[in-house]
Structure 1
Amino acid sequence: MLYFFKILLLLINIDQETILKWFGVESPTSKTILTNNVTLSNIEVQTGSPISFETLRLIVEGLWERVQDGLTLADIENLLFFILFLRFIILAIRYNLKTSVYITCIGLFAGYLWYRHLIDLISMYRSILIKLPYLHKLGIDAVQLRSMSRQMVLTDLKLGDNVHWYNPGQLIYYAFTKSIIKTDSETGLRYYIDPVSMIISNLKESDKLNILPIYYKIYNKIIPQAFEAVSKFWAQLSGIAAYAVITRIGKRYCPYLVRWHWTFLLIIGFIEQILVYFVYRVSYFQAAVLIPQTQVSSNFVDQTLILQVNALNGLIAFIISIHLGLIFFGLFHAIWGQYFYFPFLVENTELHIGPRPKNSIYSGGNTAWQDEKNKNIQRFFPKFWYGWFGSGKTNNLKILQPFQRFIANILKYLRKQFRR
């Protein structure tokens, strides 16, 4: 059994220092000593501190200090991968190594869908996020990602640089391109070392005169133009095409958790467009109408205009915070292999993919609303909360129950009025 855990943990000594280094938190057992203007760092006072509640306290304090001035994509990724690793260990102990790998990979794929959607959102909100106090680092990350992608499209100088794990297609493309192109360090010329180019280089000089013009035309004009056209076409249809192939054609091999979260993301995309363009219009109204009016006269400033600008700033910050907060909510549910309930959207999602199979450990967590539907429990007013991770039963939020009863009574009263 001990050898099993050594293989499972890849011979890594999991102690307090290892966990803290993962999160980038300074360990209390390390000191920085200054002697004769020479810095000696990372001198361990004691090694191999065991994991305890003190470790959790240090992680919370260290992360709180890091995120006080803003949240970054790197912080989100570190937290997500730590959750995946923790879940992998728990599942390996509960089931076995093979089952743990399968369930963790399913959660990783579902979380990847939400994370890609999060990056798309912060890319759309990037010019506004930079102005918000706590989310400005996310806006900076979005601007950097956009500028990097443009630079890689316009220039092909450094193949493979700044390619991230969440772009597998781009990663494969640059790996293939890097493997067939070799650049001479002295002359700066590039040579193709793929099989076709190597065959042509070994031809006779008389044959090269006829073949080389066609070869260069294909490699330098036809292939790049075709790749650019296919890339633009794929960029427009890749999401729907991948969804249709994986969740529809390959439904038998696609886990229910992935199908559920992917379908939910496609459905909320139609609603999110309304929020995004509403924020755009409000921001444009501020920049093009209100702010120029406040700068017309330096002697007199209309306080009502200032009030309108501040009110719209608060509205924009509120909408973006709620929007991104809901995406984070779905992201962490997907990583944990869980479901959540949201009226109307969840019902439409499950109309497409059906109920969760209860006899499979790979289908994810609880869906209490489906259990109520199977028991033919009729509700006039839909519940807004089915417990943490959709567990239902006694985990309902008691705060929302009076609100639900109040709305239900109003709807019943209106229904009686119309029946008269």
Structure 2
Amino acid sequence: MLYFFKLLLLSIKIDEETVLKWFGIADTSSPLDYMYDYNNLPQKSTDISLTTFKLIVEGLWNKVQDGLTLADIENILFFILFVRFIILAFRYNLKTSFFITCIGFCAGYLWYRHLIDLISMYRNVLLKLPYLNALGKDAVQLRSLHRQMYLTDLKMGDLTHWYNPGQVLYNGFTKGIVHIDPESGQRFYIDPISMIISNLPDPIKENVIPAYYKIYNGVIPKIYNTCTKFWNQLSGIAAYALITRIGKRYCPYLIRWHWTLLLIMGMVESFIIYFIYRAHYFQTYILLPQKKALAINAGGLMTSTADIDLQMQFLNACICTIVLAHLGFVIFALFHAIWGQYFYFPFFVENTELHVGPRPSTSIYSGGQTAWQLPEEKNTLIPKLWYGWFGRGTNNKWNLFDSLFGKSFKKIFKRKKKR
């Protein structure tokens, strides 16, 4: 039954029109080109050829000219997932292909969420960059959307949405234990402690009720808010520990590897992000006011602001370089995760694999290659920075120092050992 779907894929006619629609590219030919040439009227669909590839490249290039957006990144990611699913379906079967594709999707989703967080943090910088200003606009729209959703939730009050089950349970619990007297408007709590206090004798009740309301209206809400803030800070680590540590038997290696690397990278990324914030603050609130003050004091005369301009240009270059490198690395990791692959980055990968261990090479669900874990790739005099495309290894072919001087040094070390 599973092979029926393979035959079904072969029965689908894939022509130029289908491929162009998949990429969202319209036919660039105009009807006026064929007005006086009835012999060369355009057909509804043509076979795939080099012209199709040319149209795809031109269409994608025209899209990139307007700037890269989150929608473009999502389209590319889902296209990669679809192609990978088809390839794996022919290589294994539909069930195995579905599982492997889902594993890659989960690993890529971690990096994609992190990419959205970075874009929202760098939105002011991205708005100034030529090809990435669309990402900055998307970040501003997402921020305004989240703010609007927050205001909507405040207006709705207890009427929460069905897709927020935690808030639904909390509102149901708090609303169920509180009774408001319609005549006096006084709040009464319906819980075992409140019921016990309500049945106390009047002399004791007069002394207990002030402390009772102070606890219910002051202490308990503060404890709840503190626990909520603490949980918001700790929920990511708790989920990581629960899934990748306690449940590592059921969590694929690819997800554990990328998730651990992402957490380790997050420890260093905070310094980069705060550096960008401080540089942007210094540029906006220190240098620009100084430049405006010089122009005002000069009374319209030409003054030399070359020093301030040089500092601003230097800061712009630093900020743009760091932001592009940071986002480029995250996108690089995102596409590796979607493809089910690994990549090498010094120091961070070693620390990641100290936590998750080596890749199980016998499992088809573990993803791509990790040549840096092989002993024959590690035996070099100088640590390697390149292990081939998709971590397939180089067999030390690209280590120039080792290829030129490695043999001579090894001979010297062998002679010393013999002595």
The answer, yes or no, to whether TM exceeds 0.5 is yes
Question: 2:89 and 2:138 mapped to 1: Cα distance?
Answer: 35
Deviation at 1:403, TM superposition (A): 8.4
Match of residue 23 from structure 1: 23
Preserved contact between residue 372 and residue 378 of structure 2 (Cα < 8 Å): no
TM normalised by structure 2 equals 0.73
Question: 1:52 and 1:86 mapped to 2: Cα distance?
Answer: 19
Question: 1:283 and 1:326 mapped to 2: Cα distance?
Answer: 21
Larger helix proportion of the pair = 2
Question: 2:90 and 2:231 mapped to 1: Cα distance?
Answer: 42
Match of residue 184 from structure 1: none
Deviation at 1:379, TM superposition (A): 3.0
Question: 1:91 and 1:344 mapped to 2: Cα distance?
Answer: 33
Deviation at 1:30, TM superposition (A): 8.0
Preserved contact between residue 30 and residue 45 of structure 1 (Cα < 8 Å): no
Preserved contact between residue 383 and residue 404 of structure 1 (Cα < 8 Å): no
1:392 corresponds to 2:389: no
Preserved contact between residue 387 and residue 394 of structure 1 (Cα < 8 Å): no
What amino acid maps onto 2:277 in structure 1? Y
What amino acid maps onto 1:91 in structure 2? L
Deviation at 1:334, TM superposition (A): 0.3
Match of residue 257 from structure 1: 254
Preserved contact between residue 255 and residue 362 of structure 1 (Cα < 8 Å): yes
Question: 2:140 and 2:396 mapped to 1: Cα distance?
Answer: 41
Match of residue 324 from structure 2: 321
Percent identical: 58
1:172 corresponds to 2:163: yes
Listed one character per residue, the Cα deviations across residues 51-96 of structure 1 (whole Å, up to 9, x for unaligned) are 4443333222211111123211000000000000010001001111
Match of residue 58 from structure 1: 55
1:91 corresponds to 2:109: no
Question: 1:230 and 1:151 mapped to 2: Cα distance?
Answer: 25
Question: 2:257 and 2:351 mapped to 1: Cα distance?
Answer: 11
Question: 1:355 and 1:59 mapped to 2: Cα distance?
Answer: 40
Choose the corresponding residue for 1:362, options 360, 365, 371: 365
1:282 corresponds to 2:283: no
Greater relative contact order structure (CA < 8 Å, 6+ sep): 2
Q: Which moved more, 1:58-67 or 1:83-92?
A: 58-67
Preserved contact between residue 387 and residue 395 of structure 1 (Cα < 8 Å): no
Preserved contact between residue 371 and residue 377 of structure 2 (Cα < 8 Å): no
Question: 1:175 and 1:85 mapped to 2: Cα distance?
Answer: 34
Question: 1:237 and 1:89 mapped to 2: Cα distance?
Answer: 39
Deviation at 1:227, TM superposition (A): 9.4
Deviation at 1:13, TM superposition (A): 5.4
Deviation at 1:394, TM superposition (A): 5.9
Choose the corresponding residue for 2:334, options 331, 336, 359: 331
Deviation at 1:308, TM superposition (A): 1.5
TM normalised by structure 1 equals 0.73
Question: 1:22 and 1:216 mapped to 2: Cα distance?
Answer: 59
Match of residue 99 from structure 2: 102
What amino acid maps onto 2:22 in structure 1? W
State which structure, 1 or 2, has the greater radius of gyration over its C-alpha atoms.
2
